[in-house]
Amino acid sequence: MTTVTPKLDQYDLAILHALQRDGRMTKVALAERVNLSPSPCWERLKKLESAGFITGYTAQVDIRKIAPVTEVLVQITLSGHRAEDFRTFETAMQARAEVRGAWALGGGVDYILRLVVSDVDAYQRLMDDLLADDRLGIEKYFGYIVTKTIKTAPDPLPPVKG
């Protein structure tokens, strides 16, 4: 069964823009922000959620204010490149709490991982565990310790017209 993705109009995009800036705003404030009455705005919001345009609501927490952490970006190259090799690796990364982001790449590197661990020793123990798991087929990896976050931002949306 094929799902049809609804076409977004200026009001839908305005709702997404507003929520991306402030996901805690009330339904009334959202309706005011996008120049709709509350009921139609609420219906559009539910449609956007059910169609998967809105995948969740979260708070951005500065974990460094709670506990010291080390963030590491890791390039991974697998020894095998069959679909099964990629599925096995990706399933394993989904299960690891330390893996906070993972991207499959085209080119000379297969994956980039974003790891958040307590310290460099925890990073090395994690990598040792991953390398010891023969099912994963990691051929080589390069880790880069993040010394300072310069910018993080949500993915850009197309501009709202009108």
pTM of model > 0.85: no
- Spatial distance between the Cα atoms of 143 and 107, rounded to a whole number of angstroms: 18
The pLDDT score that the predictor gives to residue 7 is 86
pLDDT single digits (tens) 65-91 = 999 999 999 999 999 999 999 999 999
The pLDDT score that the predictor gives to residue 160 is 72
Alpha helices in the chain (DSSP H): 10-21, 27-33, 38-50, 83-95, 120-132
pLDDT single digits (tens) 114-152 = 999 999 999 999 999 999 999 999 999 999 999 999 998
φ, ψ of residue 115 to 5 degrees: the values are -105, 145
